[in-house]
Structure 1
Amino acid sequence: MKIFNHNTTLQKFFFIAMSIVCLTPFVSSPIALLLGFGLALIIGNPFEKYLHHYIHLLLQISIVGLGFGLKLNEALQAGKTGFILTIISISTIMILGYFLGKFFKLERPLSYLISVGTAICGGSAIAATSPIIKPSTKQISLALAIIFTLNSIALFVYPAIGHWLHLSQEQFGLWCAIGIHDTSSVVGAASKYGNEALKVATTVKLARALWIIPVSLLTMFIFKNKESKIKIPWFIGYFIMAILLNTYFPFFDQFSSVITVLAKSGLNLTLFFIGSTLSLQTLKAIGLKPLGIAIFLWVFISVGSLLFIMN
């Protein structure tokens, strides 16, 4: 029950105040997500219609900032480690998602969006392939709601399992990058686990995000739509540029730690915004069949990648 339905000024005050709190080092990534969801549940979100654009922009800026905390050799090593696992996981999830969609007679566009969101990078992959397969607005909303809900759960579950299994920083970072859908939750969970985990997770996940390009081309062939344009995640190029500047220009050493701290704060604010866009109405609208398929794919990739990494 929202308590400030008729007082927009109070809503805005509390929302801005909590946004500032999420920028402090006292708030972790999972807590920022919870605060956003709780605040939206109690008082509503007065900025909801504006936030979706800023969520993507803030996430991209934060990711680029994290690049200043990496050296080129670290990035190459992490990318090399996750390359084979990325290929195996993407192809497996896309094939499995196709057959599950057929078996449960789920609408083809919705089934495809869930599969590509799970296989590559959550909301970004859904946004990239939607103009190609032309799903209904409801199908896009459902796919995003499912992916963001599972992302929110992963933000809490993954670090707990990682500590329980005594995963190393590198193991956990790689597992996050493969098993969690969206980049924001990947980086959020990894940052909670440790700095080394964050470096591995960020690099592998962004390398994984580049698979949007070949998968979009394949999608155009499958859905026979040659008129659509492919959305390329250009910000990954800026992330690579940040790594190169931090590696080859000692001048940036004196600023890199500050930039990294600011980037982590920006990520927390991003997760707060994401949490504030979730609602009980959205969650109630999710059907059992699409949710069941999404959970199965997520558990499959989570368990499968974890066993692969541990062995």
Structure 2
Amino acid sequence: MDAAGLKNHKQVLHLNDTARKIIFILALLFCLFPIMSPPIALLLGLILAQLVENPFSHLNHKAINWLLKISVVGLGFGMNIFSAIQAGRQGILFTVASIITVLTVGIIAGRYLKVDKRTSFLISAGTAICGGSAIAALSPVIKAEEKQISVAMGVIFILNSIALFIFPVIGHGLHLSQTQFGLWCAIAIHDTSSVVGAASHYGAQALQVATTVKLARALWIIPVAFITTLAFKTGSKKISIPYFIGLFIVAMLVNTYVPFIKPIVPYITSIAKTGLTLTLFLIGSSLSFKVLKSVGIVPLFQGVMLWVLISGVALWAVVTLA
């Protein structure tokens, strides 16, 4: 280790556990301010992960999981069920075609690249369906080991972080409509958190389209899980069904048919957006250099290749067909 590296190493060690916790909590509280957007929160989390690492890393996964679900349900209170159904119909063809294509190409690519079979499948499923949620749901089905799950999650979270920054820029550069951008996000960005983050940055209509299509896409975890059980011959009955999607639908129905809730809807959606901002901060804070290094070049290459494929094809589809 050179002198500069040694100096940095000492600086990191100089912060005791209490100091790291205080810095982390202050950064978390800063995310509650209205000036914080999802991309900035993610960036803040990434910076913090490199400087002091997350002192609550053992709680991170659970916090992200629950915050995301609560935030998505909260956003449902700001959506109309009829508009959501229309958006879902528009995205169904894209959804089916992209899931089949990405899973097929991913499995074949994994074999040629000699990526571990289960890791390759989890990366492919995460790209095809809904990122970390798909990986978490399918891991017990294929009896994946902790290392295989960590690598797949690492690939997905890295690419999600990049997508959150570059998708709105590309969307504005190509003058995509709100509907086009919402569809593109829902198909091409892996995780629901980054889909909602990018779409909310683009506009209200884009957010409605993206959230509805993405959650409809997430339901494909169930049939894919059953097929996976047969393909891997594990006989596993552990399938995690995303029940919170049902609550999201209930929230939309309440907003559409219960008039007296209208005055408090802006407060609910505002809290939900803050929850999403916190979620993205926590995701960023989990991507320390140690995590990035553990992913490895070949699985990351597989993930990038699949992501470029689905992003490019989906962009062409929404521009020419939507």
Task: Give the distance between the partners of 1:266 and 1:149, measured in 2 at CA.
Answer: 21
Deviation sequence 1:106-150 (CA, Å, 0-9, x none): 211111011000000001100111101112211111000000000
Q: Which moved more, 1:283-292 or 1:210-219?
A: 283-292
* Whole-Å separation in 2 of the counterparts to 1:227 and 1:79: 31
Which residue number in structure 2 is paired with residue 156 of structure 1?
165
> Does 63-72 or 227-236 show the bigger shift?
227-236
CA contact (8 A) 2:142 2:236 kept: no
Q: Which amino acid aligns with 2:215?
A: L
Match of 1:63 among 65, 72, 88: 72
Task: Give distance in 2, aligned partners of 1:73 and 1:144.
Answer: 34
Mapped partners of 2:40, 2:119: distance in 1:
30
Alignment partner, residue 237 of structure 2: 228
Q: Report the equivalent of 1:184.
A: 193
- Residue 242, structure 1, aligned to residue 251, structure 2: yes
Secondary structure at 2:23 match in 1:
helix
Q: For 1:43-58, what aligned pairs fall within 5 Å after superposition?
A: 43-58=52-67
Query: SS at 1:121's partner residue?
Result: coil
1:174 partner SS: helix
- Indicate which of 10, 25, 32 corresponds to 1:23: 32
Runs of 4+ more than 6 Å apart: none
Matched, 1:77 2:92: no
Quick check: 97-106 or 205-214, which moved more? 97-106
Report the Cα offset of residue 217 of structure 1. 0.5
Unaligned runs of 5+ in 1: none
Instruction: Give 2:309's aligned residue.
Output: 300
Q: Deviation per CA, 1:72-131: give whole Å up to 9, x if none.
A: 111101101100000000000011111111222221111101100000000110011110
Query: What is the letter of the counterpart of residue 310 of structure 1?
Result: V
RMSD of aligned Cα (Å): 1.1
Q: Which range moves more in the overlay, 131-140 or 81-90?
A: 131-140
The residue type equivalent to 1:112 in the other structure is F
Residues in 2 aligned to 1:20 and 1:70: alpha-carbon distance in whole angstroms: 28
Shift of 1:228: 2.6
Partner of 1:289: 298
Query: Per-residue deviation at 1:4?
Result: 5.5
Contact 1:29 1:188 in 2 (8 A): yes
Q: CA deviation at 1:227?
A: 3.0
**Could you list the per-position Cα deviations for residues 150-187 of structure 1 after superposition, in whole angstroms to 9, with x for gaps in the alignment?**
00000001001000000011110110000000000000
* Residues 264-279 of structure 1: pairs in structure 2 closer than 5 A: 264-279=273-288
Mapping of residues 120-139 of structure 1, within 5 Å: 120-139=129-148
> Which amino acid is 2:167 matched to?
Y
> Which residue type is aligned with residue 233 of structure 2?
K
SS at match of 1:69: coil
Contact 1:4/1:11 (<8 A) preserved: no
* 1:172 paired to 2:172: no
Whether 1:253 and 2:262 are equivalent positions in the alignment is: yes
Structure 2 CA distance for aligned equivalents of residues 158 and 307 of structure 1 = 14
Q: 1:96: which partner in 2? A: 105
> Within the alignment, does 1:207 sit opposite 2:249 as a pair?
no
Offset at 1:291? 1.1
> Which residue in the other structure is 1:11 paired with?
20
Kept after mapping to 2: 8 A contact 1:69/1:243: yes
> Aligned to 1:240, what secondary structure does the other structure show?
helix
Q: Deviations over 1:185-241 (max 9, x none)?
A: 000010111111111110000000000000000100101122332110000010000
CA contact (8 A) 1:171 1:309 kept: yes
Percent sequence identity is 56
Q: How many residues align?
A: 311
Q: Distance in 2 between matches of 1:255 and 1:56?
A: 25
AA of the residue aligned to 2:288: S
Q: Residue type of the partner of 2:197?
A: G
**Letter of the 2:282 counterpart:** F
- Between stretches 31-40 and 116-125, larger displacement belongs to 31-40
* 2:213 alignment partner AA: V
Q: CA deviation at 1:44?
A: 2.3
State the 1:20 CA deviation: 1.4
